[in-house]
Amino acid sequence: MRDKEGNYLTIKQFMKRWGEGIKEVTPLQQTRISFIGSWFVMVGVIIGLITTLLTKTWWLFIILLGSLFITGVGLLGTWQKYSALKKIDIGLKKMEVENNGL
């Protein structure tokens, strides 16, 4: 593996840099990734519901229907968390701009 400058990295060096990068992920970035991932799950559940309706696999349809509600509520909660963190982030950036202007 190579770094951005083209230098070769050992597995140990790579894992160390990767770990440092993970530590710098903000709660806003974590929530955004969860939100996007939840949409993929939601699409998968909906496709599964359509498929089970077409194949008349009723027991699986019932399970996926329950999963749809659970995933939907989780998606809503993640969206609310993302919105709140986004507002906080915008407010912090405004405060930084105001403080730099003084």
**pLDDT tens digit string along 47-92?**
999 999 999 999 999 999 999 999 999 999 999 999 999 999 999 8
pLDDT for 37 equals 95
Domain assignment of residue 22, yes or no: no
Q: Is residue 12 part of a domain?
A: no
Largest CA distance in the chain: 68
pTM: 0.72
**Residue 97 domain-assigned?**
yes
- Of 73, 75, 48, 74, give the one whose Cα is nearest residue 63: 48
What is the per-residue pLDDT for 39? 95
Residue 36 lies in a domain: yes
- Average pLDDT of the residues in 6-26: 85
- What's the mean per-residue pLDDT of the chain? 90
> Binning pLDDT at 50, 70 and 90, where does residue 101 land?
low
